[in-house]
Amino acid sequence: MNLPCEIVMDLVALYQDGLANPVTKNSVAAHLRTCPDCRRYYKQYRRFSQKPSNMGQIPSENAAEQEFCRLAEKMRHRRMLIGIGFFSYVCASWCLLVMLWMRMRKRG
């Protein structure tokens, strides 16, 4: 059961992505072993399809994750800074109030 080259070339995408069923896979593999044209096509397809899947998808996912982590870290940092700022503001006001109050008491 030798498949026509046109069909094999159509099936190469499924074959490469591992989506073809075992019978199709075996037929395509058998054809690729015997047909240099389809083998060349398959190699080109593999080289072309590996770039986006291996060098594009996974790192971009990682990049998105890294970006998210960076943003979360930034937000946490900012929240902490705001907290510290607010805390020191409250402390300073309290100190000022206490100093004022003590001075007024001393005088009075």
- Single out the residue of 5, 19, 64, 100 in contact with Zn ion (rule: CB under 5 A): 5
The span from the CA of 8 to the CA of 19, in Å, is 14
35 binds Zn ion (CB under 5 A): yes
Minimum CB–partner distance for residue 15 and Zn ion (Å): 13
Q: How far does Cα 93 stand from its chain's mean position?
A: 46
Residue (of 17, 11, 29) closest to 54 by Cα position: 17
32 binds Zn ion (CB under 5 A): no
Tell me the site size for Zn ion, rule CB under 5 A: 3
Q: 33 vs 74, which CB is nearer to Zn ion?
A: 33
Maximum alpha-carbon separation in the chain = 110
What does the binding site for Zn ion look like in residue numbers (CB under 5 A)?
A: 5, 35, 38
